[in-house]
Amino acid sequence: MAISSWSAWWFLPFALPICIWVAWNDMKFMKIPNRAVVALFVVFAAVGLVALPLSQYPWRLVQLAVVLAIGFALNMIRAVGAGDAKFAAAMAPFFAPGDASLILYLFAGVLLAAFSVHRIARRIPALRAAAPDWASWGRNDFPMGLALGATLAFYLAAGAVFGS
């Protein structure tokens, strides 16, 4: 794992509430608020100055730009939602470049788990009754903010515990 434990511990307490907010909001409204995207970027912009070596900081912003461009292209062909693309871009600077394959495996696992749990949960009457106004219960599309937020949260938590 290329992320340092130091960086992960700095980022985790600030990013985790935003990840939870995004997951909840996407399940309830099927939207990722722009405020959440901006908040996550502000966390990186401010905390990253302390959490990362100064030489890494600008390269992490390049990651954001690259993921935003890819997300924009995927959104144009309707492969992902605009909120998903923007949030993924805001997440990108938190990931250490050396962890690219780890992140893809983590995201794949989290996506499969989140999709399965969401699809099972919406079939359980007691859970639907606990959140009767969630838009995601009745939609065919999946609230990707659940998987995106969980991926960043798990990555930072794992980095805090197992990072270099």
Distance CA 44, CA 149 (A): 15
List all residues 6 or more positions away from 109 whose beta carbon is below 8 Å from its beta carbon: none
**pLDDT tens track for 6-63:** 899 999 999 999 999 999 999 999 999 999 999 999 999 999 999 999 999 999 999 9
Q: Where are the domains of the chain?
A: 5-162
What pLDDT is recorded for position 141?
Answer: 92
Contact 153/23 with Cβ under 8 angstroms?
Answer: no
- Percent of the chain at pLDDT above 70? 99
pLDDT in tens, 61-86: 999 999 999 999 999 999 999 999 99
Q: Give the relative orientation of helices 144-162 and 82-91 as an angle to the nearest 10 degrees.
A: 10
pTM: 0.95
Q: Are 87 and 35 in contact (CB under 8 A)?
A: no
